[in-house]
Structure 1
Amino acid sequence: MLPANVPADHPPITAPRTGILIANLGTPDGYDYWSMRRYLNEFLSDRRVIDYPAWKWQPLLQSVILTKRPFTSGANYKLIWNEEQGESPLMTITRDQTKALRARASEEWGDQVMVEFCMRYGNPSTDHVLDRMIEAGCRRIVFLPLYPQYAGATSATANDQLFRALMKQKWQPSVRTCDAYFDRADYIAALAASVSRVLGDRKPGRLVASYHGMPKRYLLEGDPYHCQCQKTSRLLQEALGWEDGIIDTTFQSVFGPEEWLRPYTVEHVAELAQRGVSDIAVISPAFASDCIETLEEINGEIRESYEHAGGQNFTYIPCLNDDAAHIEVMLNVIRENTGGWVSTD
C-alpha cells in the first residue's frame, strides 16, 4: 500500500526493516562430479584463498586439479552427506542456526528485523539473499561472517562478496560488518561448556585445538589469524582451569606445496601417540558449524593418523553448531552492531 502523497504509478514501497545476514563458507549442491567441480572452481578461484597470479594458477586449476579433485572430494562428501534432506551437514546446520537465531531475534525485536543466511561459495549465494532482503524492505543490514577468528581467506572474502553484491544495487542499504569474536567471554564460555559436556570430569592427556590452516606467508604478510587462534586456545585453557601444556594449537587442511602454519594436526596427533599420549580429544574452535573438515577430516584422516601411530582413545568434540549458548553469542554480537537501528521497547 502506498502512502497518501505518493503517485499511484510509483513502485511499491515496503516498510523499512533491519536485516541480519549470517554468512558461512559454503557447500556443493551435491557430491557428483559436476556439482563438486562448480563448487571447487568458485572456491579455488578466489584470490583471497589462493593468491597466485591467475596466469600461473588458473591453467593448473582448470586442467589438473579440477579434473581429479572433484572425484576425491565428492567421495569424502558422500561419507557425511545428509541423504534425508539431500544436502551437506554444513547446510543443515547453518539453516538450523538461522532458525534458532531468527526465533531469538524475533523475541527481542519482533518484526523490525529479518534474519537470513548466505554462503560465500555455492547456494544460497550472497547476491540472491541480499536481493531478497532488500526487496523485503531491509534498508539496514548487519552482516556476520561465521568465523570466530578473522582471516583474509574467510571473514574478508565474505565481506568482499557482500560489497560486490552491493555494487549491483540501485539503492544500497546501510551495512555494518561484525568483528571476529575469537576472544569474547561468551564465546569462550560456550567452547568450555562444550568440552565439559562431552568429556564430563575426564581430563584427556591432551586437548588438541585444531584450526583450519593457511600458508605461513599470510601470517608474515600481516594476517592476524594465527595470533587470534593462539589467544582462543589460551583463553579456553583458562576457562577450563587446566594447567599449561594440556592444550595444543594445531592446523589442518594443508593444501599445495607451500609451508603452512604449523604444527599440522595430522602429524601432531601421530607424534602424541608415539610419545605415549594414549588419550586425546580434538576440538575445532575456528569452525562455527560441523562440516567436511570436521566430520570427515578430523573424524576420519586425523583420527586414523592417531590410531595408526598407537593412540588408543580419540574423542572429537563437535562444533558449537546450533547450541543455545552459541546462538546467544551470535545474538550478542548482532545486538552490539544494531545500536540505533532497532528499538528494544
Structure 2
Amino acid sequence: MSDAPTTALLAVNLGTPETPTAPAVRRYLAEFLGDPRVVSIPPLLWKPLLHGLILPLRGGRSAHKYAQVWLPEGSPLAVYTRRLAEAMQRELPHWRVRDAMRYGQPALRPALDALAGEGVERIVVLPLYPQYSTTTTASVEDVVRDWQARHPQVEVRTVHDYADDPRWVAAVADSIRGYWQRNGRGDRLLFSFHGIPQRLADAGDPYPQRCEASARAIAAALELGEGDWQLAYQSRFGRERWLQPYAEPTLWALAEGGAKTLDVACPGFATDCLETLEEVALGFTASVARHGATMRYIPCLNDAPEHALALAALARDA
C-alpha cells in the first residue's frame, strides 16, 4: 500500500515568457491575449489584429522590458512562484505542492494531468490572484471545470478569492511595516492594483470592490488614517477607459501637492513580475522623480515564510 500523498495543492500564477526574446514573448502574448476572458472582442475581429499588428509591434518592446528585470534563474514571476510553491510544500509536508501557469509553462492542464497520474485524489487549486476577477480567476476556473468534467474521480476545490483573508492581510501589512522599520515611512502609501476595463466592472465584475476590501483591510492592520493611503490602478492597455484613478498620474499629483517620499505596494500581485518590477519599480520611480519626489517600491510577498504560511492555511480550509 502506497503512503504517497493523495492530496495536492496546485498554485497557479498568470504566466510569463520562457525567455526575454521577441519570439518567446510573442508566443506567450498570443496565448494570453487570445483568451476571451482577457480580451472579449469577437475572435473574427480580434485574431487578425492580434497576429497582424499587436504581436509584431509588442513582441520586441516587451522583450526589452523583460530583459531589464530578468533574473539569472529566469523570469521573476516564474522564479518566485516556484520558490513560493517550495515554501508551501514545507508547510504542507503531507501534500504534494506544485506550481503552474494559466499561460505558458508549466501549463495548467498538464499539471493537473500529472497529479492525477500520480494517484492524487484531491486537488486544491489556488489561483495566485488575491482579488477575484473574471479576467483572471474565472479563466483558471474555466480550465479546471473543463478538466474535472473529464476526470470525475478527482475531487477539485478552487480557492475563489482571498482579498480580505486575515492571514494574508497580516502578511502584507507585516511586510510593509518591516520595510518602514528598515527604511523609514514615506509621506503617503499608494496601493497599486492591476486595472481592468471599466466596462467589465460596469457589467458586474466585482474586482474593484475586492481591491478596495484588500486596501482597507491592510490599511486598518497598519493603523493608517484615511489621509495616509490611497488606492489606484496600473497597467492599462488600449484606448478604452479602465478603472480609475490611474496610478502613475496619481503619484504625480501627490508629488506636485508637496509629498516628498511616496511608498508604493502592489497587493494584487502575489509575486513580483514585469508589472511590478519594470512598470512600477523602474518606470514609476523615474517619472515621479521628474515631478520632484522620491518613490519607493515595497516588494511583493514572493516566497516569504509568512506568505507561504497564509496560503497553506487557505489550502487547508479548502
Compute the TM-score of the two structures, normalised by the length of structure 2: 0.96
Does the CA contact (< 8 Å) of 1:281 and 1:317 recur in 2?
A: yes
Letter in 2 for 1:57: W
- Give the Cα–Cα distance (whole angstroms) in 1 for the partners of residues 206 and 308 of structure 2: 25
- What are the Cα deviations for residues 274-307 of structure 1, in whole angstroms up to 9, with x where unaligned? 1111111000000000000001110122112211
**1:183-222 → structure 2 map (5 Å cutoff):** 183-200=164-181, 202-222=184-204
1:278 is aligned to 2:260: yes
Give the match for residue 79 of structure 1: 68
Q: Distance in 2 between matches of 1:172 and 1:74?
A: 42
Code of the aligned partner of 2:284 = I
**Partner AA of 1:55 in structure 2:** L
Contact 1:14 1:137 in 2 (8 A): no
Aligned to 1:340: none
State the shift of 1:212 in Å: 0.3
Question: What is the CA–CA distance in structure 1 between the aligned matches of 2:276 and 2:124, rounded to whole Å?
Answer: 28
Contact 1:27 1:88 (C-alpha < 8 Å) held by counterparts: yes
Do structure 1's residue 332 and structure 2's residue 310 form an aligned pair?
A: no
Query: What displacement does 1:168 show?
Result: 4.8
Match of 1:300 among 237, 257, 282: 282
1:64 paired with 2:53, answer yes
CA deviation string 1:221-251 (max 9, x = no partner): 1111100111111111111111112111000
* Residue in structure 2 matched with residue 24 of structure 1 by the alignment: 13
The structure that has the greater radius of gyration is 1
- Offset at 1:20? 1.1
For structure 1, which runs of at least 5 residues remain unmatched after alignment? 2-12, 338-345
Aligned residue type for 1:89? P
Residue pair 1:280, 1:314 contacting (<8 A) in 2 also: yes
The answer to whether residue 43 in structure 2 is matched with residue 95 in structure 1 is: no
- Are 2:24 and 1:35 aligned? yes
Q: Distance in 2 between matches of 1:89 and 1:72?
A: 18
Q: Deviations over 1:85-125 (max 9, x none)?
A: 2x20111101100111111100xxx3xx2111110000000
Contact 2:171 2:307 in 1 (8 A): yes
Match of 1:228 in 2: 210
Deviations 1:180-229 (A, max 9, x none): 11111111111111111111183321101000000011111111110011
In 1, Cα distance between equivalents of 2:281 and 2:118: 41
**Which residue among 163, 170, 175 is the counterpart of 2:156?**
175
The answer to whether the 8 A contact 1:39-1:121 is kept is yes
Letter in 1 for 2:126: L
Paired residue total: 317
Amino acid in structure 1 at the alignment position of 2:51: Q
The answer to whether the 8 Å contact 1:267/1:305 transfers is no
SS at match of 1:200: helix
Residue 47 of structure 1 aligns with which residue? 36
Normalised TM-score (structure 1):
0.88
TM-superposed deviation, 1:172: 4.2
SS of residue in 1 equivalent to 2:243:
coil
Q: CA RMSD in A?
A: 1.6
What is the alpha-carbon distance in structure 2 between the residues aligned to residue 47 and residue 173 of structure 1? 27
Moved more, 249-258 or 16-25: 16-25
Quick one: percent identity of the two aligned structures?
A: 38
Structure 2 gap segments, 5+ residues each: none
Provide the C-alpha distance between the structure 2 equivalents of 1:62 and 1:38, rounded to a whole number of angstroms. 10
Letter in 1 for 2:168: Y
For the residue of structure 2 that corresponds to 1:270, the secondary structure is: helix
Q: Does structure 1 conserve the Cα–Cα contact (< 8 Å) formed by 2:38 and 2:135?
A: yes
The answer to whether the 8 A contact 1:207-1:281 is kept is: yes
